[in-house]
Structure formats: C-alpha cells, structure tokens
Amino acid sequence: MLSPARSAPVGFPPPHLAAAGAGGAGALSLLQRRVHPGPGLNGNGLGRLDRTAHNSGTLSIWRLSDGKAGHDQQSLGLARALGRLRPASLHHLPLPGRGRQLAWLLAGRFPPGRGLPDPDLILGAGHGTHLALLAARRARGGRAIVLMRPSLPAALFDLCLVPEHDGVTGSERLLTTRGPLNPMEPSQDHRPDRGLILVGGPSRHYGWDEEGLLGQVRTLLERQPEMAWTLADSRRTPDTTRERLATLAGGEVRFQSHRDCPPGWLASELAVAGQVWVSEDSASMLYEALTAGAATGLLQAPPKGPSRVRSGVDSLLQQGLVTPFAEWLAGARPEPPGHPFDEAGRVAGAILRRWFPVDAA
C-alpha cells in the first residue's frame, strides 16, 4: 500500500550512483526532480488530491523499452489502459545499454526524448530500463513508473508496480498487482464451442514432461469433440513437443505455431475462446487469459521447487480463478472470472485519480 510520499527530493541512490556525482555534487543534486513528488497512491488509488496535477488535456506517456517482448507487453498494457481512460499520446522509446543510460543520468540528458513533448508519465519494465527512467525524469520531468520488482531502491521511483507473488512489502511507493500487467482487454464475445490450448515449455521454475502434457491435450480433445480447438506453441516449446502437437491437427483441431503468428493473433483468439487451457509454466499467458475474461484451465507441468511463479499460480488456484486438469477430470469445469480481472485498468485508474484528477481545482 502506498501512503502519501514525502515532498523532499529523492535521496536514496545506490552507492555507484552516489559516488559518481560530478564535482562532489551529491546524490540529491544528481537525482533532483523537475516536478514536485507530491503524494503517493494507497491501495485504492485514493488519498488527498495532488493540487499540482493538471486536470485536462492529453497525457504525454513515454514508454521505455529494453527490447524484451515480455517487458514490452507489461508497459504496453498499462499505457493502453491509461489511454482507454483519458486522452493520451504514447511514445515508444527503444533504449541502449545501461552504460549510456548512466551517462545520460549523470549529465542530466535524455537524447531519445528529443523532439517529444515533456512526459507526464514515464513507464519502464525490466532492469534495463531503470537508469533510463531516472535519466528521463531528471532531464524532462514527469512521473517515473517502474513495472516489476526494481533492482534499484523503490524510493528512487514515483511508483513501483510489483506482482504480489514477488513478496515485496514495506515501500510507500509500492502497488502490488495480481500477476504482471498485460495488454489484453475483457471480452464479452466468448463462444462456448471454441477452445484454445496454449503450450509453453521448460523454464527456470518448471521442468517439462512431454508425454504427460500431450496426454492431457489428447484427453481434452477426445472428451470435447464438439468444440473447435486451436493448439498453439510458444518460444519455449521444445521442437519435439511442437512437432507432436502439429500431428494432432485435423478436422475441428488446428495448430498455430508462434513462428508464423500474425500480430494480434493471441488477443483475437482469447477474445472469442470459450475455454482456454494453459500449461502451468506459462504464467503470463494464464494472466492474459484471465484478463480477457476466458474460462481458464491449467495443464500440469512439473515444478522444480518453490518459486515466485509457482506462488502466483497457487494463488490463482486458491482463489478459484483457474481449474486444474485433475479437477476437470473429476467433473469440474473452468468458469470465467466472477469479477473482471483487469489489473492494468485498475492500476491506470488509481494513477489517474492520484496524479491527474479531472476535478482538481
């Protein structure tokens, strides 16, 4: 939960930044803002109004990218949610390595933003965006919002959006989310005769049981022949699994490889699938399916041990948001979320109410 933030300039840099101040200027000079920090958010995005916030016009949003698709999906999800709630101009800014970002921060410059309007919000996901977030804010102002657990102290940023399964607490500038944010939108067009099966692969947190996974997929297809099924792999899917999934195509079953997916394919499929099954290792796709409002089932994969990803999946199971394959075999059926699972929309609303209230005087 975020309580009102201090109005003094941020002064908690890591040692290498504190030591790098030119001419003995200290960390406070290095990280001095161009905007008043103002109050923070609490868990509901409420609290006393920040009277320095403007109350109309188009928001200028800078979205910083480290080039990693998963990170871009998170920041894009928040940017689009903000745009659905308020007129906004979105600017996508690819970043170089951290060395150049640090040089920009020390010099008070941010070349990627040259020619763009000053930002109201600066978004970045992943460690490769952290120094750039600080550099952009120092050079041009705005609020720096970091998605995922930051590698630098949370007090350096205006807001940190961290999945609750990371177990991070104790910062006044922290807002927890149910899983990573994503750009999916809730849909009312789910068709009961359409099914989607999303297959991941081995990861740091999960091993891979190809025979077990394929057995679950075959059982789903055999026991629900009235449905039109789409099977889809991912970048992590082993070649042998991919090839064997492709052999299941035929009749009402089709296979879609990630290698030739058109842009927006997953969003369009999740918007209409009445039933979505996701392998347990693919946490991001689980949250995307739930955000789309789909009835979601869980294909079992062998965990390597306790992990934050597994904790997130366990939380979804405890809340009854996903149906494990074993329970489906026993007669349970996946159900859509009872309430909209729109974390990007919830966070966007909290940000706007706090920093850009439309009724501010």
For the stretch 280-315, pLDDT in tens is: 999 999 999 999 999 999 999 999 998 888 989 999
Given a contact cutoff of 8 angstroms between Cβ atoms, the answer to whether 152 and 49 are in contact is no
Q: How many CB atoms lie within 10 A of CB 291?
A: 27
The answer to whether residue 1 sits within a structural domain is no
Strands (E), the chain: 59-65, 88-94, 121-125, 143-147, 159-163, 174-177, 191-198, 228-232, 253-256, 273-279, 295-299, 323-324
Query: Would you place residue 340 in the very low, low, confident or very high pLDDT band (cuts 50, 70, 90)?
Result: very high
CATH of residue 32's domain is 3.40.50
What pLDDT is stored for residue 170 in this prediction? 59
Domain identity same for 350 and 296: no
Domain identity same for 167 and 228: no
What pLDDT is stored for residue 21 in this prediction? 36
Which residues form the domain of 44? 15-183+344-355
What pLDDT is stored for residue 57 in this prediction? 84
Reported residue count of the chain is 361
CA distance 146 to 16: 20
Query: Would you place residue 257 in the very low, low, confident or very high pLDDT band (cuts 50, 70, 90)?
Result: very high
Query: Would you place residue 237 in the very low, low, confident or very high pLDDT band (cuts 50, 70, 90)?
Result: very high
Share of the chain above pLDDT 70, in %: 83
Q: Is the pLDDT of residue 344 over 50?
A: yes
CA distance 260 to 232: 11
> Structural domain tally of the chain?
2
Query: Would you place residue 197 in the very low, low, confident or very high pLDDT band (cuts 50, 70, 90)?
Result: very high
Domain identity same for 179 and 276: no
Query: Would you place residue 172 in the very low, low, confident or very high pLDDT band (cuts 50, 70, 90)?
Result: confident
Which positions ≥6 away from 39 have C-beta within 8 Å?
4, 5, 47, 48, 50, 354
What pLDDT is stored for residue 164 in this prediction? 85
The answer to whether residue 88 sits within a structural domain is yes
Average pLDDT score over residue span 314-327: 96
Average pLDDT score over residue span 319-325: 96
The tokens for 42 are 């609490």
Given a contact cutoff of 8 angstroms between Cβ atoms, the answer to whether 35 and 95 are in contact is no
The tokens for 279 are 């392998």
The tokens for 202 are 């081995």
Average pLDDT score over residue span 321-337: 96
Name the least confident of 4-8, 170-174, 348-352. Answer: 4-8
CATH of residue 291's domain is 3.40.50.2000
What pLDDT is stored for residue 308 in this prediction? 86
The answer to whether residue 351 sits within a structural domain is yes
Which is higher by pLDDT, 37 or 109?
109
Q: Which one, of 189, 121, 188, 183, lies nearest residue 343 by Cα?
A: 183
Domain identity same for 292 and 214: yes
Domain identity same for 219 and 267: yes
Which is higher by pLDDT, 232 or 47?
232
CA distance 38 to 51: 9
Average pLDDT score over residue span 105-130: 97
What pLDDT is stored for residue 167 in this prediction? 67
Strand order in the sheet with 88-94: 88-94, 59-65, 121-125, 143-147, 159-163, 174-177
Domain identity same for 41 and 61: yes
57-109, pLDDT tens digit by residue? 899 999 999 999 989 999 999 999 999 999 999 999 999 999 999 999 999 99
Share of the chain above pLDDT 90, in %: 75
Q: Is the pLDDT of residue 19 over 90?
A: no
Q: pTM of the full predicted structure?
A: 0.83
The answer to whether residue 4 sits within a structural domain is no
